[in-house]
Structure 1
Amino acid sequence: MIELPLSALEVAMVEARTTASAALRNAEETALALDRLGWHRLWFAEHHRSPSIGAFPPAVLSAHIGSATTGLRVGSGGVLAPNHAPLMVAEQFTTLAALHPGRVDLGIGRGPGTFHAETARALRRGADPTTDEEYHRDVAATLDFLVEVGFGELPEPWLLASSATGATLAGELGLPVAVAHHIRPDNTLEVVGRYRDAFRPSRWCAEPRVLVCVETVCADTEERAVELSRPMEVVKAGLLKRQGELPFPSPAAAAEHVFSPEDEAALAAYGAQQAKGTPESVEAALHRIAEATGADELMMITPVYEVADRVRSFELVSGLRKA
């Protein structure tokens, strides 16, 4: 049984031959299912100009899903600091916290949220990529503005990290850290170690708190889990070849995709560090990750094509929780 709180990361995949509004309906259906199942929090990721992920602002989705659910915490995983003025981020999330007291998180990240160079420049108004110093300053300013403009209720701030630099900043600022194991699993143990070494208590967090995000696809059979995982593997293969993101294909279309031997090896190595398969396989994988990292919470990202299969995966993982 899994004793840790379970949460989810929603990237609102836009399925091939469907529309952005369909992706939004699917995200809401998923959120309602997670709320019914008693999951802890649901975060929305910031992306731009992607053929497979909707460009839906986390603050807007958090407002909508917060109104549609009752117990689920909502927020960003994350809002990307280089793309926004700190005061604007603080105003948006303190407003959300006032609308949904005790249920709003502000996860802050660093990446541009796009593989499209012109879009990244447009988001930065032509400025160069942010430096470590600029990022540190923007995060600190956002935290200060939360207190300054807050309406009594404040969101819970988190820092997203997939590198030692981000982990160290989270520790120095005394923030809980969300580790992007689903993006850079080879960095996870170093990230957790650097965070704990650098941690200083703050008004936000008295002790280190570690959330680990894992790509999780749970199905009734191993074969079905492989089938459901394949569309996202097609997208990942495009990234490995530096082709940029590809449209999110159906399982039928993905089944016809031919991977190179190099792609197969890279995808297999990545998948071995995530949690995919039957409930028994997923439980074993999540236990390994939790024990290795000392995680306080596990977050699942489940990028499968049909919303019914996504919800089924969450239902099966829910069955692994300790009563």
Structure 2
Amino acid sequence: MAELFGLFSYFLHFALLICLRFAPKRACEEVTVADALIRIYYQVSAFFSALRPHWHWLLLLLLLLSVQFALNSYIGEFKQAWEWDWVDIVGEGLSALMVFCWLLLILSVRTKGRVTHLFALGLILLDIALVQDLLDEFIRLPENIQWDSVLEASPVGLLLITAAFWCWRREQQTTNLYLGKRQHIFSQPNDLDKSLHIPDLAYLKQNLIKRAANLAQWQHTGLLFIEVRQFNHLLHQHGAKHGNQLLLKVSELLLLSLRANDLLCHYAAARFVVVFSDVRPEQARQLAAELQQNIESFSLPVAGEACRLTIDSGLALASSANSSQSLLNQALDDLAKNKQSND
């Protein structure tokens, strides 16, 4: 089955070349047609590549359908064309086809695991039941044969799918706890830092300007700068690749430590900015100390070596007397003062 996926990929590539060869040659449309064909080819190829790890489920479905058709053909007799009920044939055929499409879609987006196995087995059994219902429209089985009715009415497939949805629900609840802190991040995809996948400086300034326009919200806002002290040394020692990986790990650790309504942004180099929402001065200082302690208590791997980071921080609290830019400058001044005292 895995080899079939490879052959199918080669067939798609060959079909793409043929289509490009005979595509319309008008200057205004040639690039558009070629680009569309290439996009379709890569989307279909990526879809079947995602199915490759689950080829055994598709092989199982093919074997079960083959055995099912062989048994029906051997035991029963084919009906005459005038006995066919086209309404049932179309309805039951489309139902079986849709369940098969569900199976392909789920397998194409999930990795191997218990939830995937439950979904796959449940959908396969459900598809087998629907196909048996379809075969009854073409093949008449003897009256003493009951296994076809049992197969059509069996709830095992639906029970397995229900169990899969229940396990998926628990899985999704865990995922939502993590993604909940990112939902306000991905709402502005154009302002994300491309390497760290968190908002950049432009988004930070927009957010602060918006907060400053609401005085009640602005007076309960805190701004914390966090800088990895030995980042330049690690960058010089291990290179840019490992340096970016370190910053990504630090950003993930900060995200896990933040409250749901706080915002994390990348300022520049090894500097991060945390915007605290709805905080009092004492609470902001406590949260800042906890974040610094969380980062410094972890040993993060850098180029295969455990590295315990040290952090410099600078905190500023908003008031009606300062603007968004002055709040940034105040936090930067506090960071510089703390760095000087730590050196």
Higher relative contact order (CA 8 A, sep 6+): 1
TM range (shorter): under 0.3
Structure with the bigger percentage of helix: 2
State the TM-score, normalizing by the size of structure 2.
0.20
Structure with the bigger percentage of strand: 1
